[in-house]
Chain A
Amino acid sequence: MTWEAVPGFVHEVDARGETTVVVERERLLDAARWLRDEAGFNFLADITPTDYHGWNQERVSGYWGDAGGRDINAPGSWGLQHQPEAKRSRFSVSYHLLRLRAGANEAPRLRLQVWCEDGEPVESVVSVWPTADWHEREAWDMMGIRFEGHPNLTRILMDDDWEGHPLRKDYPLGGEPVRFSGEE
């Protein structure tokens, strides 16, 4: 099935048996309604925000080199390096949809994806799939993506007065360094 009829369609990726449809951020609500009503995706499984800050920079997660070759003196490098392509913006919000029909023996899935920068709001799909309520609150809490039209966008996992959005790449891991006995 071709997904070009989805409102706001930008791009489609088919990989490893999964289909990802990227739509324009401004037309997300139209796309969501279309997918629920016309295409039958009545079940929203998950909303996942992802932060791509630092995605294809050098020295990110073991890439010690650039497209021209590898640095043999740096540890953890084997084979010719392949830098991942840059992403279109810093954040992506993926909506994992499922067409749920009772008694069915197949589970058609689709990933609806929008991309946004820091500070750009995304429309809330609570009016389309009520289950999005807590998923969007978690996305706000953990990544700082604001959802317009959400009835109750407050922190859900962290304390109400917590500052910062923990799952962002520029937020430190935290914790405590290991203290060794014998050093002081």
Chain B
Amino acid sequence: MRAKGPGVFERELGAEDLEDRLMLTTVEKAVAWAQGSSIWPDTFGLACCAMEMIAVVSPRYDIARFGAEVFRSSPRQADLLIVSGRVSHKMAAPLRQIYDQMLEPKWVIAMGACASSGGMFSNYAVLQGVDKIVSVDVHVPGCPPRPEALLEGIVRLQEKIKAGVPPAYEIRGVAQ
């Protein structure tokens, strides 16, 4: 294949290294592009944020244009866990179990104030942030976040994936 003038990859890599690095780097980039553009979320709606998560699926906000409308019920088929809603201590164990059942690579979005930090419920019953038990990639603030805010979170996650940032569990563990 003969490119007509330097393309993106040649500009980035430098034309002299092109022959050495063409296959490896572009496969990574291509895989990252494919993963980011077809993230399959898991149906993990817990509370009020779940309503806005379903609104993101609805025709007006349409998550399908970001490739993510296929919400899988089984965690084994999902890549993205959108924790939408307050996580009580009783629910923390099932949440971790679902997260463990997901296959790698997997990403987590903590949607809403309750999932990010416990929200307005600083008490005995609510886990103060889901990042205490799973590694979170993107926190989306709001109570509940507007569907556009969740889409912003998903777009940022896509940008992270396409830029080659590894999923959160490879970079950091859980919060203390």
How far, in angstroms, from A174 to B121 measured CA to CA in the complex?
10
Which of A159, A173, A176 has a CB less than 8 Å from the CB of B89? A159
A interface residue count range (under 10 / 10 to 19 / 20 to 34 / 35 or more): under 10
B128 touches A176 (CB 8 A): yes
A176 touches B118 (CB 8 A): yes
How far, in angstroms, from A176 to B125 measured CA to CA in the complex?
11
B121 nearest CB neighbor, chain A only: A175
Q: Which residues of B contact A173 (CB under 8 A)?
A: 122-124
B60 at interface (Cβ–Cβ under 8 A)?
A: no
How far, in angstroms, from A140 to B123 measured CA to CA in the complex?
20
Q: Which residues of B contact A166 (CB under 8 A)?
A: 124-125
Q: Which residues of B contact A159 (CB under 8 A)?
A: 89-90
A164 nearest CB neighbor, chain B only: B124
> Which chain A residues numbered 157 to 175 have a C-beta less than 8 Å away from chain B?
158-159, 166, 171-175
Q: Would you give the shortest CB distance from A22 to chain B, in whole angstroms?
A: 31
The proximity string for B residues 75-89 relative to A, scoring 1 for CB distances below 8 Å and 0 otherwise, is 000000000000001
| Chain A contact surface mostly | loop
> Which chain B residues numbered 144 to 171 have a C-beta less than 8 Å away from chain A?
none
How far, in angstroms, from A174 to B118 measured CA to CA in the complex?
12
A174 touches B125 (CB 8 A): yes
> Which chain B residues numbered 110 to 159 have a C-beta less than 8 Å away from chain A?
118, 121-126, 128
B90 touches A174 (CB 8 A): no
Q: Which residues of A contact B126 (CB under 8 A)?
A: 175
Q: Which residues of A contact B122 (CB under 8 A)?
A: 173-176
> Which chain A residues numbered 134 to 181 have a C-beta less than 8 Å away from chain B?
158-159, 166, 171-176
How far, in angstroms, from A117 to B125 measured CA to CA in the complex?
26
How far, in angstroms, from A176 to B129 measured CA to CA in the complex?
10
How far, in angstroms, from A166 to B89 measured CA to CA in the complex?
13
Which of A158, A171, A172, A175 has a CB less than 8 Å from the CB of B118? A175
Q: Would you give the shortest CB distance from B176 to chain A, in whole angstroms?
A: 11
B128 touches A175 (CB 8 A): yes
B124 touches A172 (CB 8 A): yes
Seen from chain B, the residues whose Cβ lies within 8 Å of a Cβ on chain A are 89-90, 118, 121-126, 128
11 A-B contacts (beta carbon < 8 Å): A158-B125, A159-B89, A159-B90, A173-B122, A174-B122, A174-B124, A175-B121, A175-B123, A175-B126, A175-B128, A176-B122
Other A-B pairs beyond A174-B123, A175-B122, 8, CB < 8 Å: A159-B89, A173-B124, A174-B122, A174-B125, A175-B123, A175-B126, A176-B122, A176-B128
Q: Which 3 residue pairs across A and B have the least CB separation, nearest first?
A: A174-B124, A175-B122, A176-B128
